[in-house]
Every structure is written in structure tokens, then in C-alpha cells.
Structure 1
Amino acid sequence: MFLDTANLNEMAELLPLGIFYGVTTNPLLLERAKVPCSHHALQDLAATAFALGSKEFMCQTWGTKVDELVDNGIRLANLDSRVVVKVPLTFAGIEAASMMSNLGIRVCTTACYSPHQVITSVSAGAEYVAPYLGRMNDAGRDGMQSVVDMQKIVDGMRSKTRVLVASIRDADQLAVLAARGCNTFTISPKVARLLTEDELTMDAATDFAKVEEGGFGSS
């Protein structure tokens, strides 16, 4: 699992849980966190994530032309070997992703909305492909089935590309997809806080605390 945020306070709160492999960001998250979309700012953000235990940090290259996407992607990749460069699944983005993959740069194709785009991502050498589950549902599509189909494509192609499910709106969606074969997710801090919540768990914890306060478990 990855934590989807650019907010330093949220990283400091949630990464110590020890359940996240890394951190993912994008320009919208940077804007919400009031972090400039610049190499220097992303370097500082990545350093903070790594200091808090993150093993990978994903950030998005920018530009409208292939050479701009590649140049910025190279600069981001040079920040640290644990940085994965996100590239939008556009015509220019795929060309840029292929070029960066050939240079040994780790790439995640992002804003994936259709199963056929997974085939494109695999062929471009992407390490990850990120479908937006919630946004697919918002557009009237069956996002859950599309994501499952994407995972089947990767498995069927025997590819090492990982389907990184993004835009997950609640913990139940994550659980359903995991039960159907998906194994890589990026979730918002809001959803992350739901991962330990269950009414019966809280009731049990309260009962345990009552016993402990009564001295039964004391030495």
C-alpha cells in the first residue's frame, strides 16, 4: 500500500503505522498541500517521506511535449533511486514513458481509465499503472470490474507491471478488490484512518481496557 498525499503532517501521522510501502503524489495533491510543483520542493518532500520509513516516492513529471516530460522526469529520477516518475497516459506521455523506461528510469503511467491502456503501459515498460477507481465510477463506468479486468490483463501477460489502484473512496472498496486479486493500492489519509475501524473491534478494545483497569492483567 502507498499513502496518497503531499501533506507533511499526514505523512508524519500515518507513515509510522508501518503499513505503507511508499508515498504517491500528483500536481493536484501538491496544490492542496501548498507545495510548489518544482524539483527542489519534491526533493524535500521525498526526503521527508524516506526519513519516515517510505521505501518509494512517486511524483509526476510535467510538460506538454515529449522532451519536456522526459527532461523533467530525468531530473526527478536523479533525486533518488527510490523515486518513481509518474507520467499521464496520453500519446506524448506514453512516448515519454517508453523513452524513460529505456533509460532505466522507473515509471508509473497514471490517469488510467480503460483496460486497454494497461496493455499500452506494459508495452511501454511501466513498473506501475495507476487506474482511478473513484473517477471511473463518477463517470458512470463500472470501475470495480474495470480494475479487476486490468489486473487480469497484467496476470495474463505475465507482466511485472503492477496495477496501482488509486482514487479509492472507502476501505470496503479496497477489501473487495484485494479479495478479487488486486494487490497494490494507494489510498488517501481519510481512507487510511478507516483501515483499523470496526464497531466490534472498538467494543472489544473497550472490554479489554476495563479488565486491565480492574487489575486482572497486572503483574
Structure 2
Amino acid sequence: MSLRFFLDSADPEDWATWMPCGLFHGITTNPTLLRQAGQPCRIDALASLSRRALDLGCQELHLQAWGREPSALIDCAQALAELDPGRITVKIPVTRAGARAAVTLIGQGIPLTFTACYEAPQVLVAAALGARYIAPYLGRINDLGRDGHQELITMQKCVDRTGSSLKLLVASLRSPGDLSRLVAAGLTTFTISPKLAEELFSCQATEAAAARFEAEASHKPVDSGLASRDR
């Protein structure tokens, strides 16, 4: 099992903070995150953003295509993929239009993530079409009154039983406990917010222990000869 984290943000300041720590394999974005970060959702703007992300060591950048019709999705996805072939993965919604676009895009060798997954049968669609990832929304599934953890475990079992190379890119995580619970159940790939990344390093007991180590290290070593005479 190989664990892989992505940073879920379109804010270059978040990227500059978190990418150097080595925790994240890549970055995931979407039009909502772009709006929240004050970034325009345009190909030229995404080209500039992509260069910044990749310069920070992002090995895999997920950019979401837009367009209501399959042809529009295809054109947008192709333009995004061309920004850095091999390191850009294109996200499209797991809709009928998205599925139709995916046939063409996957046939062209463009890596795809189906996004906005809420139900286990959608995972079967992604697996059958040959997508690289599908992104189920854990927290939002829970918000609908369902057991999101159990549903994602079922999704993973579907992938395992089919022998598909599809990976569940779990999104909408709300707490570190969500992460550990799903990893214990066999899921391996997650996109997490900067807020959740902060929480992974917010153990008060660990902070207290680290402070104590620093305090001890600041004291000068006792001379061994003097120490023996003082006994």
C-alpha cells in the first residue's frame, strides 16, 4: 500500500507553505477553490498558476475542465492537459456529458479524475471507462445523512474486486480521524485542505514534548570530571 496526499487548494500562498514540507505528492483545484482564492478560471490564468505549482515541486496537478457539452469539456480538457503533459491530470464531473468526453480524452492518453462522486455505482462507471482517479466527497455524503465512511469502504471493495487500477481520491475530509479511519480500511489516496493539514500537526502532547526537548538541549553539558567529584 502506498499512501499519497494531495493539497486541496488554489491559493499559491498555501502551496508555498505546504509543498516544501514533502508531505504532498500534488495539488488539486477546482473552479470553487479558484474563486475562493481570488484566481480567475481561465486557461491563461491556469497556465501561470500551473507553473507556480510545478516549480514548487508538485508532481501531479489536478485542474478541472468546464463546459456543459461533451465537446466543450473535451476542448477545455485538452487545453489544460497541454499546459504540462504528464504532470497535469484533468478533472471532469462524473456525469453523462463527462463520461462521453472521457472516452475521447482517455483515448488520447490524457489522465482523468472523475469528480463529484456521491454513490458507489459511479465508481464502476469510472473503472469501466479507464479513469485514473475518482473523487468521492466523504463529508458531503455524511451531510446527506448517510454513512460516508462505510460507503467509501464499499467503493474501495468494488475497485478491488474488479482488479481496476482506478484510485479513490478521497475529498471533503473534515478531521484527521476521517483520514486514519479510511487508511485503516485500505484506502490510500486523499486530498486534504490546508486547515486539515494544520490539524495533522496540532497534537498538544507532541508540542509539549518538543518544547521540553528544546529546553533540555539548551543546557550546557556538565563536565564529567566535576560531576564525578560532586558525587
What is the TM-score normalised by the length of structure 1? Answer: 0.97
2:69 maps to which of 65, 73, 78: 65
Deviations 1:47-102 (A, max 9, x none): 11111111000010000000000110011111112100000011111111122101
CA distance in 2 between counterparts of 1:115 and 1:98 reads 20
Q: What is aligned with 1:189?
A: 194
CA distance in 1, matches of 2:114, 2:154: 17
Question: What is the aligned partner in structure 1 of residue 95 from structure 2?
Answer: 90
The range that moved more, 196-205 or 101-110, is: 196-205
Amino acid at match of 1:156: R
CA distance change for structure 1 residues 95 and 199 in 2, over 3 Å: closer, same or farther? Answer: same
Distance 1:59 1:34 in 2: 16
Match of 1:111 in 2: 116
Q: How many residues align?
A: 217
Which ranges of 4 or more aligned residues in structure 1 deviate by more than 6 Å? none
TM-score (norm: length of structure 2): 0.92
Q: Which runs of 5+ in 1 are unaligned?
A: none
Percent identical pairs in the alignment equals 44
1:201 aligns with 2:206: yes
TM-superposed deviation, 1:165: 0.1
The alignment yields a C-alpha RMSD, in angstroms, of 1.1
| Match of residue 225 from structure 2 | none
Could you tell me which amino acid in structure 1 is paired with residue 91 of structure 2?
Answer: K
Q: Within 2, Cα distance between the matches of 1:71 and 1:160?
A: 26
Tell me which residue corresponds to 1:179: 184
Give me the whole-angstrom Cα distance separating, in 2, the residues matched to 1:203 and 1:156: 45
Q: What amino acid maps onto 2:163 in structure 1?
A: R
What SS does the aligned partner of 2:100 have? helix
Rg larger in structure? 2
**Letter of the structure 2 residue corresponding to residue 179 of structure 1:** A
2-structure distance, mates of 1:166, 1:216: 49
SS in 1 for 2:157: helix
